[in-house]
Structure 1
Amino acid sequence: MRKILITAILILVCVNTFAQNMMQSQYGSSASGLSSDRYDRNGNPIDTTAVVDASTVPIGLSSWTIDERFGTRTAIPVDTLQFGFQNTNDNGGPTGHYTYLGNLGSPRISHVFFERAETTQEFFTDPYDFALVTPGKVKYTNTKSPFTNLTYYKHGAGRRAEERFKAYFAVNANKRLGFGFDIDYIYGRGKYMNQSTAQFNGNLFAYYHGDKYEMHFNFINDNIRVTENGGIADDRYVTAPIEMADGGRVYKSYEIQTNLEDIWNKNTGYHAFLTHRYNLGFYKDESTENDTIAKEVFVPVTSFIHTVKVDMNTRQYISYNDEQNRKYFENHYLGTDSTDVTKYMSVKNTVGISLREGFNKWAKAGLTAFLSFEHRRFSMTDSIEGTPGQYMRDYKENVLSVGGQLTKAQGKTLHYDVLGEVAILGEDIGQFNIEGRGDLNFRLFNDTVRLDVNAYIKNLNPAFYYRHFHSKHYWWDNDLSMITRTKIEGRLSIDRWRTQLQAGVENITNYTYLDNVSVGYTDANDANIKTYKNNVTVRQNPGSIQVFSAKLRQDFKFGILHLDNEIVYQKSSNNSVLPLPDLVLYHNLYIRAGLAKKVLTVELGADVRYFTQYYAPDYAPAIGQFYLQNPETKYKLGGYPLVNGYINLHLKRTRFFLMMYNLVQGTGERSYFFAPHYPLNPRGLKIGISWNFFD
């Protein structure tokens, strides 16, 4: 870890120095900013009307993400966040919405149903969204001076420490062309036995913004290696440690016996993405603010769009302890020494033509028509041990779909985006998606109120690995029906009152999920004792399931004292198939003050994460997915307040925090378990530091 950290810092320093010299040569020292969102060297907003000192390096800085279908840009804040830095490396999410296995970088699933993403064709990496980046999440930056961010986190010390190092670099070659890279390295050694995680993820990006030609490109590489321990052998090591000590010393976390050892899940992914467009339009003169100088501005009328996305993933399940496997898993299809490998590849092209919004007074909305073609290929084992015939098989799927989009993004009062798509040929024929979102802004009591609405109706073909999957311990080939999902949700935001109220309802027909199907084995000496081994399959609920959810965020401020609150209420109409906690809570009490003439910002406080008891999903180590608990042995988890105390400091370009994690360790009926047999990390010290460099 130290070698990687030192090497990365040296590389960034060298690249940054070179880029700074190049930028000064390209722009000169008196150039103005590229964007109205300008920041000084400390990351603070500056007056854009002020005269720039010719002796300084200009800091024009803006960031955005793009839509994966059309490459449309969405502005995002520059990474100069002062508030909440202590929660930016929490595997459970900044407000504690996720069930996870305790270790940093471990798989996770949200307690809040409306935050659960749909299962993708990259099935095995879906639970690792904590660290993985998709093309739509890549952050592009336009900067007058090279921008670098280095961030380091650590939890604990010694052989059981968790560490994470992140590096981000962006530079412009000129006003229109920029590029950079992002590195994210996670090494969670694990507070418990056989639990380590290692992730090395990175991406390269580039963009060009011309009047007539625009382009965004990124290349992402994922490397995920997770040791699977099947959970601890007996929950009482955590819930009743004195009882398990049997008069001796209490076991430390890394001394507790686990169900599995010498088992790994490894995922390697490569993702290339390019979206570009050619604009037809005209130039017109536009006066500046002082109305004395006319500037020629290009007005796009029509855009021709092309997007290509290539995804490849190799998932490998590695196990060496056959005796332990046979005790834990119910089925063993491929033998002891076999290789359990699954591969996925997809190439998707989208072409479209867009009539741009606002090119004249009659163009009140933008209209886009598009066509997409996707080729998918899956490779996996096709015969069980001892069966003659083909050992590996390729499954090929092709999908042709058409669609359209209507958008209004200009103006201050009303905005909307409506998109429809239908598959007309191929494996997903009949699949369709109609979704829309909009916002209305109006004045109320001398404040601006924002009403956001989003809705969709979808008819979806279940992901390939729900339909077919062959491996060492799980094997299925299913003829599944289309999944129909209908949802409507609204959100009311009043900034002056620090209030946000959100509510929605969703109906799902043919809900598709992973279930525990172990039959149980009767003990030879006692017919009343049954042993249940691990076995997973796919099921569909033939009827409809409704989920209602409401969320209130209400923050209070009394001088330097702050209290931030989030309350989520949700209800599932079928808790046997889709169990959810009724309440998910987050509360943060802290003081915030500026010291040393407000150069130093200090936050000191404690927060708590809590969800009510429910039958939390179990975890299947052979595929790295969450599934329903066995109905014969299931038990409720939750009702545990996860409390963290922290101090968060921000000084010019540097952010730093100290946190004591899991302060009330050991309380509650089930103590600090979020997933069955997977306790959270015990009490420990976390630290984090982040530097921003603007030159």
Structure 2
Amino acid sequence: MRYIAYIFLLLGLVAEAQERIPSGREEGSPEPVRPSGVQESDSIKAANDTIPDIQDYQIISYGRDTTYLDTSLTIKKEYRYNYLRKDNFELLPFSSVGQTYNTLAKDLDYNSLYPQLGARSKHYNYMEAEDISYYSVPTPTTDLFFKTTMEQGQLLDAFVTMNTSRRFNFSIAYKGLRSLGKYQHILSSTGNFRLTANYTTKDGKYRMRTHFTSQDILNQENGGISNREQFESGEEEFSDRARMDVFFENAENLLIGKRYFLDHEYFLVRPGKAFSRLAFGHEFRYETKYFKFNQDQAVEDYFGSAYQRSDMEDRARLKTMYNRFSVNYGDRIFGDVSFKAALYNYNYYFNTVLYRDDEVIGSQLKGTQVTLGGTWSKVIGRVGLDADVEINTVGDLNGSSFKGNAYYAISDDLKLAGFISSVSRMPNFNFLLYHSRYQNYNWQNDGFGTEKTYTLGGTLSSEKWGKVTASFATIDDYSYFYESADPEQQPRMVLSRPAQYDGTIGYLKIKGENEFRFGKFGLHNTVMYQEVSQDDPVMNVPRFVTRNTLYYSNNVFKKAMYLQTGITLKYFTEYYADGYNPLLGEFYAQDREKIGGYPLLDFFINARVRQTRIYLKAEHFNSAFTGYNYYSAPNYPYRDFIIRFGLVWNFFR
């Protein structure tokens, strides 16, 4: 709660007045992107400029790509107005906000060459270092995001940033959620605190950016509904979802993480001052995480036999420290070249050692990795090329990564991009070692090897006609959790175990997006087709997913308000969706039950008044008349009809 107090103290300093500034790009126009070499402080206005340009309110990504603050109201803003604040087309949310998401497509683009903690269902709202943005603004700027949740609670994301000088900026933000949910014992309570700063010296030779994050994601767990007839019958008695039976009401899981990040660079030869440039860089990360599962009393008819009957607590911990040093060179002939070396220290551990029969399950995986690599990029006329390679040369965590991209501007409107990648990395730590009070959830897999993913694809994009992306991936030694419970003898149990698939999986994914305009009306379409070739059903996705939005937009009240209203249809074909295991915080492959084949209809009315966007939505309003067969995972129903509202409000001092 002290973080919230800091936020509102700063808000009080900068929210005395809301000035009129340009409202950003027009409806339907592309989001602008600046070249990555643009300095963060280049476009700060002089003190005597009374009305800064909207493009001076810069947002700098981890990769140093720069966009500006956008206060417009578009259909893509509607798609991003959710808990994650990004388009969740490929995700299927559970019934309560902040609970978790099932996947409608597989993401094979790994940001890290190293294994992660695991508990992947808890990480959708966890902000990694690559998710943190930095800022440069001519005036203090505030962004307030608010949205209602399920039953008691709210969702609030409050952010403020300011430049104390042309060269130094800092920001502070807190995103907090509390959602009681409509079923018994599924409370969600999360918090994401972020503090960032970036600085450039007057001569431009040194630049630095840093951040600190503290995040906690808490979910009460009930194992899903235990009597599905209560839900599927549609009986009025159980329209109050709190009356429905669930498997248990005494468990919760929690993910907590803290991270310290520093990235700085010193130029011996500054860009723009000579034919070439030369710089030395250093990136530092120190992060601590733990994931725990608590349960007051053991539920053996769900998770199997336990070593104790009460006060159940499983806790996995991970501490990592990462130092990367780089030499960066660039000129007009060879392009930009970087040579890098990284030192990665990890400690994944439990506070117990398990002796079972003749088997000893250790309590720790600890070591040091040395990684060597480099990057290269070059623009030649309308063609852009870049490549990134990394290899683990020392340590027990084998792995390597190669990623290449090519871009070609066919015309001012039509662009073609291709990509290729080869990634080999160890599975997450919870595949390799796990301890639990439940007997089935203890293992040490020394024989697991690297998972190998090879991807080839491309994107054809046009502002007029939309874009289409196609990719094909092959995966060897795919790591997954499977369900070991007997479907006839143990139909109500969840006994997930880790495994590596000894075959090869082929994964084809084609995704298209376009928009048609008819005067004040628009039809926005997103369609995805997928095909998986495998001998056993270990990686499952729906073959077809579509989202279609028909909407109307216009200025009203003498152009004092911009209004947008419409209907969105989302549909995906039936497939063997992954089941959810709350003890591990993971999804597991299953072939007992298919979900999908039901439409999801949302009606929305959105409006913009100056820098304020107001959102009102009737979610899944067709739930009462299309049948109660909508699930997000086996035993976990999707959301019922609900009306939610909120706003995004920007202040400029």
Give the TM-score normalised by structure 2: 0.89
SS of residue in 1 equivalent to 2:194: strand
In structure 2, do the counterparts of structure 1 residues 45 and 615 end up closer, same or farther at CA, with 3 Å as the change threshold? closer
SS of residue in 1 equivalent to 2:11: helix
In the alignment, which of 516, 519, 538 is matched to residue 556 of structure 1? 516
In the alignment, which of 58, 61, 64 is matched to residue 59 of structure 2? 64
Q: Which residue does 2:537 correspond to in 1?
A: 576
Deviations along 1:8-67, whole A, 9 cap, x unmatched? 77423334269x9xxxxxxxxxxxxxxxxxx96253369x99x99958353563333444
Q: How does 1:393-404 map to 2 (within 5 A)?
A: 393-404=363-374
> Would you say the 8 A contact 2:354–2:360 is kept in 1?
no
Q: Which residue does 2:432 correspond to in 1?
A: 467
Q: Which residue does 1:518 correspond to in 2?
A: 485
Q: Which residue does 1:685 correspond to in 2?
A: 643
In structure 2, do the counterparts of structure 1 residues 551 and 388 end up closer, same or farther at CA, with 3 Å as the change threshold? closer
1:427 matched to 2:358? The reply is no
1:377 matched to 2:347? The reply is yes
In structure 2, do the counterparts of structure 1 residues 505 and 686 end up closer, same or farther at CA, with 3 Å as the change threshold? same
How far apart, CA to CA, are the structure 2 residues paired with 1:411 and 1:129?
A: 39
Q: Which residue does 1:31 correspond to in 2?
A: none
Q: CA offset at residue 692 of structure 1?
A: 0.4
1:218 matched to 2:235? The reply is no
> Would you say the 8 A contact 2:297–2:311 is kept in 1?
no
1:305 matched to 2:298? The reply is no
Give the TM-score normalised by structure 1: 0.84
Q: Which residue does 1:103 correspond to in 2?
A: 96
Give 5+ residue unaligned stretches, structure 1: 21-38, 285-296, 523-529
Q: Which residue does 2:199 correspond to in 1?
A: 208
In structure 2, do the counterparts of structure 1 residues 191 and 656 end up closer, same or farther at CA, with 3 Å as the change threshold? same
Q: CA offset at residue 594 of structure 1?
A: 1.6
Q: Which residue does 1:415 correspond to in 2?
A: 384
Aligned length: 626
CA RMSD of aligned residues (A): 3.0
Q: Which residue does 1:263 correspond to in 2?
A: 251
Q: Which residue does 1:153 correspond to in 2?
A: 147
SS of residue in 1 equivalent to 2:311: coil
In the alignment, which of 248, 255, 275 is matched to residue 263 of structure 2? 275
How far apart, CA to CA, are the structure 2 residues paired with 1:117 and 1:128?
A: 17
SS of residue in 2 equivalent to 1:73: coil
How far apart, CA to CA, are the structure 1 residues paired with 2:540 and 2:533?
A: 9
How far apart, CA to CA, are the structure 2 residues paired with 1:268 and 1:77?
A: 31
SS of residue in 2 equivalent to 1:241: coil
Q: How does 1:278-427 map to 2 (within 5 A)?
A: 278-281=266-269, 301-322=277-298, 325-333=299-307, 336-358=310-332, 362-363=333-334, 365-384=335-354, 393-408=363-378, 413-427=382-396
Deviations along 1:624-643, whole A, 9 cap, x unmatched? 111112x4xx1110011111
How far apart, CA to CA, are the structure 2 residues paired with 1:11 and 1:256?
A: 43
Q: How does 1:237-248 map to 2 (within 5 A)?
A: 237-242=230-235
How far apart, CA to CA, are the structure 2 residues paired with 1:693 and 1:251?
A: 42
In structure 2, do the counterparts of structure 1 residues 552 and 390 end up closer, same or farther at CA, with 3 Å as the change threshold? closer
Give the letter for the 1:113 counterpart. Answer: K
Q: Which residue does 1:180 correspond to in 2?
A: 171
Q: Which residue does 1:30 correspond to in 2?
A: none
Q: CA offset at residue 116 of structure 1?
A: 7.2
Give the letter for the 1:43 counterpart. Answer: S
Give the letter for the 2:400 counterpart. Answer: F
How far apart, CA to CA, are the structure 1 residues paired with 2:258 and 2:526?
A: 37
Kindly name which structure, 1 or 2, has the bigger radius of gyration based on alpha carbons.
Answer: 1
Q: Which residue does 2:82 correspond to in 1?
A: 90
In structure 2, do the counterparts of structure 1 residues 129 and 415 end up closer, same or farther at CA, with 3 Å as the change threshold? farther
Q: Which residue does 2:32 correspond to in 1?
A: none
In structure 2, do the counterparts of structure 1 residues 393 and 685 end up closer, same or farther at CA, with 3 Å as the change threshold? same
Q: CA offset at residue 250 of structure 1?
A: 4.0
Q: Which residue does 1:585 correspond to in 2?
A: 546
How far apart, CA to CA, are the structure 1 residues paired with 2:53 and 2:369?
A: 46
Give 5+ residue unaligned stretches, structure 2: 27-41
Q: Which residue does 2:449 correspond to in 1?
A: 481
1:436 matched to 2:404? The reply is yes
In the alignment, which of 552, 564, 567 is matched to residue 527 of structure 2? 567
Report the more deviating stretch, 502-511 or 297-306.
Answer: 297-306
How far apart, CA to CA, are the structure 2 residues paired with 1:95 and 1:200?
A: 20
In the alignment, which of 649, 653, 678 is matched to residue 607 of structure 2? 649
How far apart, CA to CA, are the structure 1 residues paired with 2:524 and 2:530?
A: 20
Q: Which residue does 2:619 correspond to in 1?
A: 661
In structure 2, do the counterparts of structure 1 residues 396 and 282 end up closer, same or farther at CA, with 3 Å as the change threshold? closer
How far apart, CA to CA, are the structure 2 residues paired with 1:227 and 1:616?
A: 22
In the alignment, which of 62, 65, 88 is matched to residue 74 of structure 1? 65
SS of residue in 2 equivalent to 1:397: strand
> Would you say the 8 A contact 2:361–2:444 is kept in 1?
no
In structure 2, do the counterparts of structure 1 residues 388 and 544 end up closer, same or farther at CA, with 3 Å as the change threshold? closer
Q: Which residue does 1:526 correspond to in 2?
A: none
1:227 matched to 2:220? The reply is yes
In structure 2, do the counterparts of structure 1 residues 81 and 680 end up closer, same or farther at CA, with 3 Å as the change threshold? farther
Q: CA offset at residue 393 of structure 1?
A: 3.5
Deviations along 1:198-255, whole A, 9 cap, x unmatched? 001111000012310011101011111100110011222222123xx6xxx3441121
> Would you say the 8 A contact 1:168–1:181 is kept in 2?
yes
Q: CA offset at residue 90 of structure 1?
A: 3.4
Deviations along 1:262-300, whole A, 9 cap, x unmatched? 10101111011111010011587xxxxxxxxxxxx6876
